């Protein structure tokens, strides 16, 4: 706990609370406006809550932070019906603050503060096992302002997330001890102060059938090829290869996103994002200066459980493509400099994916206990991309152990296949990297989750000469 309290984000959290609590107190005597039907009942990622009349986007998941956090806020009792605080059963460690959290939500202010910590050990193989352990973590603060509830802009909202990471250079753990293409800890990062990770203005129109976002957006885990089973290293699989498709040229930068729901069971989305954006920068220095280079993404999705009311097994099926305008070096053996190096500008690829619940323990639509499957495949041109083909598949069971309804058990496999041109021109020993991962997320309390994790990586780095490795991990997650 001292580790938590001594971190710089504590000052940020305390200052935020110092501003929000007086605001809620001042507004608590006013009449609270009624909730909007769908725009107010969403996750931070834009996933609408299920209703009979309106579309539901089950494909959108806020990586690392927000879907369950938003549900947590919605599940709290009204301020006038506030229950006594119980440390062990509260949705957040700090409780509802006597109803203040609910009052803030009712006036259009929703926020979440989460803390993640991981401890990883290379038990066997890889590059090195000596001192082959490290720990690190991250902390996320999200805030969403619902302008509809504030009676300012119907269907409008503003979202932003600040993020920070800490640790003993855990981001070097995979490079120095494992040597894998995909990080065994997808949340890993060097010691970094708080920075604004993403922000956007969102506008919903036509009964939420059309949505726009404008700001600093992240295509991975938020908007495209989003998996509800394998989409968050904070809650589900830890390995990076099992939370994103490695054959997609994802971006995080200034851009615009459009999502349309012509029917409840069909959606189409697209985005244009600054292709030159750099991490931990505002993005204005590249989006509006220098060459105009923007990545483009398209996706079409199908939700079969909305086609028939008799089908209660949720799922989503998606297909998409992307364009990357960057200039890339073509894999070519220059014979020690005798031949000139070649480049190519512009690259495209495509992907498919699905999530499907195949068995439920009950017919209650709110009950999520049961067995689910997921799968992904992606292709990128092998002349400039080291990974030409990528696939992953796995399963998750929620509530496997009686009385442990919130716990989840997951197992999955991912494989990154090296391109033929990289193999013939650069490294004849290049082959494929395969990841196997097993985890169990134990909900000690609603706000505290501990997850032991075990991974096997064969041919780390995709090289036949690399030693297979066995990695064990332990993840903690606290919702304040």
Q: CA gyration radius for the chain?
A: 23
> 2-479: CATH homologous superfamily?
Carbohydrate-selective porin OprB (2.40.160.180)
pLDDT at 168: 58
| Global pTM value | 0.79
Backbone angles phi, psi at 335, to 5 degrees: 55, 50
Whole-angstrom distance, CA of residue 373 vs CA of residue 64: 20
- CB-CB contact of 162 with 186 (8 Å): no
Range 381-390 burial, b when 16+ CB lie within 10 A, else e:
bbbbbbbbbb
pLDDT at 466: 84
Whole-angstrom distance, CA of residue 362 vs CA of residue 365: 8
User: Which stretches of the chain score pLDDT less than 50?
Assistant: 1-80, 170
pLDDT at 308: 77
Measuring CA to CA, which residue among 471, 254, 247 is closest to residue 379?
247
Name residue, tokens 């013939």.
424
pLDDT at 64: 40
pLDDT at 81: 52
246 contact partners, CB below 8 Å, separation of at least 6? 181, 182, 240, 378, 387, 390, 414, 416
pLDDT at 50: 36
Could you say which DSSP state residue 244 is in?
S
DSSP 11-38: HHHHHHHHHHHHHHHHHTTSPPPPPPSS
pLDDT at 307: 82
pLDDT at 278: 79
């Amino acid at each position: 706990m001292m580790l938590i309290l001594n971190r710089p984000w504590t000052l940020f959290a305390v200052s935020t609370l110092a501003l929000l609590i007086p605001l809620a107190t001042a507004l608590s005597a006013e009449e609270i406006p009624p909730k909007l039907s769908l725009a107010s009942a969403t996750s931070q990622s834009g996933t609408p809550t299920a209703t009979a009349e309106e579309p539901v986007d089950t494909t959108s998941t806020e990586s690392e932070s927000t879907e369950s956090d938003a549900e947590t806020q919605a599940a709290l009792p009204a301020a006038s019906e506030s229950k006594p605080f119980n440390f062990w059963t509260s949705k957040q460690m700090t409780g509802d603050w006597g109803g203040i959290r609910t009052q803030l939500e009712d006036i259009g202010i929703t926020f979440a503060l989460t803390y993640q910590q991981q401890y990883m050990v290379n038990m066997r193989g890889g590059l090195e096992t000596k001192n082959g352990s490290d720990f690190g973590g991250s902390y996320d603060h999200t805030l969403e302002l619902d302008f509809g509830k504030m009676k300012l802009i119907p269907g409008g909202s503003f979202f932003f997330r600040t993020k920070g990471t800490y640790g003993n250079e855990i981001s070097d753990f995979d490079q120095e001890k494992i040597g894998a293409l995909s990080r065994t800890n997808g949340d890993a990062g060097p010691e970094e102060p708080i920075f604004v990770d993403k922000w956007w203005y969102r506008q919903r129109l036509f009964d939420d059938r059309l949505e726009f976002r404008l700001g600093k957006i992240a295509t991975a885990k938020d908007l495209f090829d989003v998996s509800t089973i394998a989409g968050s290293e904070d809650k589900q699989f830890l390995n990076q290869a099992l939370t994103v498709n490695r054959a997609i040229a994802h971006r995080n930068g200034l851009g615009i996103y459009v999502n349309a729901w012509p029917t409840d069971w069909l959606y189409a989305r697209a985005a244009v994002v600054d292709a030159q954006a750099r991490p931990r920068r505002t993005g204005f220095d590249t989006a509006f200066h220098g060459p105009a280079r923007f990545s483009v993404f398209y996706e079409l999705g199908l939700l079969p459980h909305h086609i028939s009311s008799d089908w209660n097994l949720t799922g989503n099926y998606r297909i998409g493509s992307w364009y990357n305008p960057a200039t890339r070096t073509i894999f070519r053996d220059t014979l020690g400099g005798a031949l000139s190096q070649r480049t190519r500008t512009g690259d495209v690829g495509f992907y498919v994916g699905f999530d499907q619940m195949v068995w439920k323990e009950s017919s209650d639509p709110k009950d999520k206990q049961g067995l689910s499957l997921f799968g992904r495949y992606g292709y990128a041109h092998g002349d400039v991309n080291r990974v030409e083909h990528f696939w992953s598949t796995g399963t998750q069971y929620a509530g496997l152990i009686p009385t442990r309804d919130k716990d989840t058990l997951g197992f999955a496999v991912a494989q990154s296949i090296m391109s033929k041109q990289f193999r013939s021109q650069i490294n004849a020993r290049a082959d494929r990297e395969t990841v196997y991962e097993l985890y169990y997320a134990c909900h000690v309390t609603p706000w505290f989750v501990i997850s032991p994790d075990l991974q096997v990586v064969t041919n780390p780095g995709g090289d036949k000469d690399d030693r297979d490795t066995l990695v064990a991990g332990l993840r903690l997650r606290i919702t304040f």
